[in-house]
Amino acid sequence: GQQLNQSPQSMFIQEGEDVSMNCTSSSIFNTWLWYKQDPGEGPVLLIALYKAGELTSNGRLTAQFGITRKDSFLNISASIPSDVGIYFCAGRTYYGQNFVFGPGTRLSVLP
């Protein structure tokens, strides 16, 4: 099955820095979801996007639904130690029954 491309694969940043990551697809999606997963835990939904161009925030997190409908972006501002984890995207076409997932971006925050 299709999987999404997600970049970067991993990143190391200093506490207080901003973070950007993105997800791309070969298909046009009508839904993009962003998740955070801690080790040994289930993914937690951060932001859901349903419209091309949509920009949605959740605290220090902001995500955008790309205009082409084939990509999405997640930004984290002023990173803190608890931001450490794996962030991954998921997308679905309008008539698709299932989501496809990116492999994740592993974020490490250095104090």
CA distances from 83 to 22, 40, 54 (A): 17, 16, 23
Site for other proteins contains 13 (CB under 8 A): no
CB of 86 to other proteins, least distance (A): 10
Amino acid code (one letter) for 38: D
Site for other proteins contains 63 (CB under 8 A): no
Site for other proteins contains 26 (CB under 8 A): no
Dump strand ranges (E) for 1-111: 5-7, 10-14, 19-24, 31-37, 44-49, 55-58, 61-65, 71-76, 85-92, 100-101, 105-110
Span of 14-22, 66-74, 76-84, 96-104 interacting with other proteins by CB under 8 A:
96-104
Span of 11-19, 29-37, 54-62, 73-81 interacting with other proteins by CB under 8 A:
29-37
Which of helix, strand or coil describes residue 52? coil
- Binding residue for other proteins, selected from 76, 90, 107, 109, defined by CB under 8 A: 90
The residues with which 62 forms a beta bridge, in sequence order, are 57, 75
CB of 21 to other proteins, least distance (A): 14
Span of 12-20, 26-34, 54-62, 72-80 interacting with other proteins by CB under 8 A:
26-34
Number of residues counted as binding other proteins (CB under 8 A): 29
Which candidate, 22, 13, 33, 34, places its Cα nearest to that of 78? 13
